[in-house]
Copies of this chain bind each other. A is one copy, B any other.
Amino acid sequence: MGLLSYLKGQSRSYSKLLIVTTLSGGGLVAYSDKPQKTKKKVLVLGSGWAGTSFLKDLDISSYDVQLVSPRNYFAFTPLLPSVTCGSVEARSIVEPVRNILHKTNGQIQFWEAECLKIDAPNRKVFCHSNIQQLAGSNHFSLDYDFLVIAVGSQVNTFDTPGVLEHCHFLKEVEDAQRIRRTVIDCFEKAVLPDLTEEERRINLHFVIVGGGPTGIEFAAELHDFVHEDLVKIYPSVKDLVKISVIQSGDHILNTFDERISSFAEQKFQRDGIEVLTGQRVISISEKFISMKAKSTGNEVSIPHGMVVWSTGVGTRPVIKDFMEQIGQGDRRALATDEWLRVKGGDGVYALGDCSTVDQRKVMEDISSIFEAADADNSGTLTIKEFEAVVGDIITRYPQVELYLKSMHLADVMDLLKDSEGNGKDEVNIEGFKRALSHVDSQLKSLPATAQVAAQQGAYLSRCFNRMDLSKEHPEGPRRFRTGGRHEFLPFRYRHLGSFAPLGGEQAAAELPGDWVSMGHSTQWLWYSVYASKQVSWRTRLLVVGDWSRRFIFGRDSSRI
């Protein structure tokens, strides 16, 4: 229900955008009848999935928009593992932000710089350009009325010694390019004269820490690269290559359905990729990686040629500092409410990996809900009274719907039935509390994925585009505690499915509605979804071109 009205709202805002675009394209908006009012300043930090998705749909006729990011491009990060081995070129997955944000009805100003500090009380941010050796200051500050933080995350080392010094990561395009060069280095070094076979073996031992989708996809890509391309040109060392995945949990891909998890493990076993589960990495040096078995406590140290660290997300320093300013110092990520407004930050929004939506619990508001629903103040809720608020409850507390699904209940009314399945006519506050007592167990934080970030960006741009409208005609659910309605519908994540490419032209996918799909056909699904999701026709052509080139000629092993 909430979903339906959300979609309706979306299509409405699209058509509005269309009209604006058409008009301005015809040059008809130069003289507007509306009185000129000062545009509010919207400042966006970050040009990743969240930031660009927010800006793409934002109606900039009502805002003065600035974007600050240390990268002047948007990167299609789900293809980063493909870049590490040259299945796709780095250039094919990037698009200059200025091209993406090219608007017909005005300008979004972009500064290539890093935000070093947010000064929330004065509504100011301090930025720094990383370009040295050119004329002019590298520091500047910007004012804002609304701040949208979408700076993403940084790598999380879990304070493991040696990770920052000796590991590769897979967060940025440069990381992927560096991995590609290092893989070739390992092979070139391994074939040099005067090395012992043991030394060659060590140089060709590739270790991946983290059995999540990124680590697994990289392991699979590397395996394909080695066995489809590199063994042909480095035949003397082809039997010395080893790929190991170290995972702290009991299974790899443990956020996926367990059918996918075991399919991946079996495939890796057939491919000769070693999977070490239940192991925690305790330190990494230039030549060795040390780990501890969680079950036995046994420690072991193995030599490596290269380690890729792909586990967890960490908070950037600028966000940590900001969290301390606004009293979130004890949290692990920037908390927002369901409207993506940063808690304790006036006019500040946060999207994507740097933030987490702090979903309100039903039980925190249970008394208010009961009182608000009890229209006749009788102290009991009738079925009719409950029915009148059920829509608002489900919109405001999405965990209710998840709970119904998990309990295989068709209707919210079933919650009020007793253990024998008999419905009641009325329920008092205690009964109401009892009925909803387990609902909050379904609260889950959203994954740190491109999909969540992009949906949050699109959601927030819609809110910004109808800010004036929603003041007059609030569209959100009832405010149970204070009365009235929320201006906007809260953010609701729609999971569209997730992929795990496993190499050898096979992939696994978890699709909406608990569908699971695995094998070669899923890889083709992956190709078509990723081609269609490209941000521009240019990158789409390039990516498809890269895939074709790889099919015909293999991957390039030049060390550049």
Contact = CB atoms under 8 A, between A and B. Distances in A.
Contacts of A193: 111, 140, 142
A387 interface: no
Contact of A286 (B94, B133, B558): B133
A211 B479 CA distance: 73
A194 B141 CA distance: 9
Nearest to A113: B192
A271 interface: no
A553 B545 CA distance: 15
Contact of A134 (B131, B185, B538): B185
A46 interface: no
B72 A559 contact: yes
Contacts of A199: 135-136
Contact of A184 (B72, B111, B190, B537): B72
A191 B134 CA distance: 12
Size range of the chain A interface in the assembly: 35 or more
A189 interface: yes
A192 B139 CA distance: 9
Contacts of A142: 193
B195 A131 contact: no
Interface in A201-229: 202-203
A91 B87 CA distance: 12
A71 to B, nearest CB: 7
A173 interface: yes
Interface string A126-145: 00010101111101101000
B541 A135 contact: no
B189 A131 contact: yes
B136 A194 contact: yes
A414 interface: no
Interface in A277-311: 286-287, 303, 305
Interface stretch (A95-103, A435-443, A518-526): A95-103
A343 interface: no
A195 B71 CA distance: 20
Interface in A86-121: 89-91, 94-96, 98-99, 102, 111-113
Contacts of A188: 72, 112, 129, 131
Interface string A525-560: 000000000000110011001000100110011111
A73 B135 contact: no
A91 B560 contact: yes
Nearest to A97: B558
A229 B557 CA distance: 31
A174 interface: yes
A161 to B, nearest CB: 17
Contacts of A136: 189, 192, 194-196, 199-200, 203
B233 A96 contact: yes
Contacts of A174: 560
A227 B131 CA distance: 23
B195 A137 contact: yes
Contacts of A366: none
A459 to B, nearest CB: 27
A192 B72 contact: no
A186 interface: yes
Contact of A195 (B90, B135, B198): B135
A198 B134 CA distance: 12
Interface of A: 71-73, 89-91, 94-96, 98-99, 102, 111-113, 129, 131, 133-137, 139-140, 142, 173-174, 177, 184-186, 188-196, 198-200, 202-203, 233-234, 286-287, 303, 305, 537-538, 541-542, 545, 549, 552-553, 556-560
19 contacts: A71-B559, A72-B188, A98-B234, A98-B557, A111-B191, A111-B193, A112-B192, A112-B559, A129-B189, A131-B189, A133-B286, A134-B186, A134-B203, A135-B195, A135-B203, A135-B303, A136-B192, A136-B194, A538-B552
Given A73-B559, A102-B233, A135-B198, 14 more contacts: A72-B557, A72-B558, A94-B556, A96-B557, A98-B233, A98-B557, A134-B186, A134-B189, A135-B189, A135-B195, A136-B189, A136-B199, A177-B560, A538-B556
